[in-house]
Amino acid sequence: MRVLITGRHGQVSRELQRCLADQAELLVLGQEQLDLGDAAAIRRQVRELKPDLLINAAAHTAVDQAESEPERAFAINAAAPGVLAEEAASLAVPLIHYSTDYVFDGSKDAPYHEDDLTAPLGVYGCSKLAGEEAVRAVGGQHLILRTSWVYSLHGKNFLLTMQRLLQEREELRVVADQIGAPTWAGSIASATTELVRHWKEGRAGAWGTYHLTGQGETSWFGFAEAIAAQLRSQGRPCARLVPIAASEYPTPAQRPLNSRLDCSRLQREWNIRLPNWHDALLECLNSPR
């Protein structure tokens, strides 16, 4: 099985490469090999490589930066997934595409279901929603997996930022009124590997849009507390954490206050359920870099 993965150095892509290494021949295209802003280049690469499965693990994920470069964000997050979906359909092979909790505005007082009304608050969320719509418009065999608060031991993410700042400062103020589920990139990759295995074995569930996050919920402050607890258990210096409201930490892009996603549909259709977010954090911290 030949699997084409867009993105090489991203958090999810790195974990996918690890999980799928002994499952398939991996055709990994990073920015150096493929500019996702170039539709003709995407078509050329897919037609030349003729994969049995496409996984789009690349995205413009700089949420605040997207506010100042919407054209680039839409090219990568909206137009490129549509082109990949068209090429996958022409080859009659599946496409797995990752999306985000940012397609919702966070005003709901309960976890979001897949068919809830979308209402993104910023350019990043709008571009990711447009990417979903482009994939769905093509049809064909596809999975759109919405996830949230992705972290790992690589790249730029909340875990690594907190580990650094907690050891550099005496006090750290962290937003406590945005609620969601931290999701380890390794958990996403493991679940994706299971989805691929089910498909290959003829046990695929329904194609479509699903939510895929760690189980349970917390705030950014609660996530930071869990990270701090691990640092303290290792005898490392650790700042005092102070909870604040999101309004006290203004950013160029507005974030949803409620990022909770209901993942029960994925469990019903594909028999896949991610671990509790806290358990996954411990597994991440104990995993090889």
Q: How many CB atoms lie within 10 A of CB 50?
A: 12
Residues 19/192, Cβ–Cβ less than 8 Å: yes
User: Helices marked H in 50-79 — which ranges?
Assistant: 63-66, 70-74
Question: At residue 81, what is the residue type?
Answer: P
Instruction: Give the separation between CA 251 and CA 239, rounded to whole angstroms.
Output: 23
User: What residues form DSSP beta bridges with 142?
Assistant: 95
Residues 270/195, Cβ–Cβ less than 8 Å: yes
Q: Which residues of 219-236 are buried (b: 16+ CB within 10 A; e: fewer)?
A: bbbbbbbbbbebbeeeee
Instruction: Give the separation between CA 174 and CA 220, rounded to whole angstroms.
Output: 7
Mark whether 124 is an active-site residue.
yes
How far is C-alpha 214 from the geometric centre of its chain's CA atoms?
A: 11
Per the residue annotation, which of 124, 151, 210, 249 is the catalytic one? Answer: 124
Question: At residue 161, what is the residue type?
Answer: T
Please give the angle made by the CA atoms of 253, 255 and 256, to the nearest 5 degrees.
150
For tokens 């290959």, the residue is 200
Q: Which residues are catalytic?
A: 124
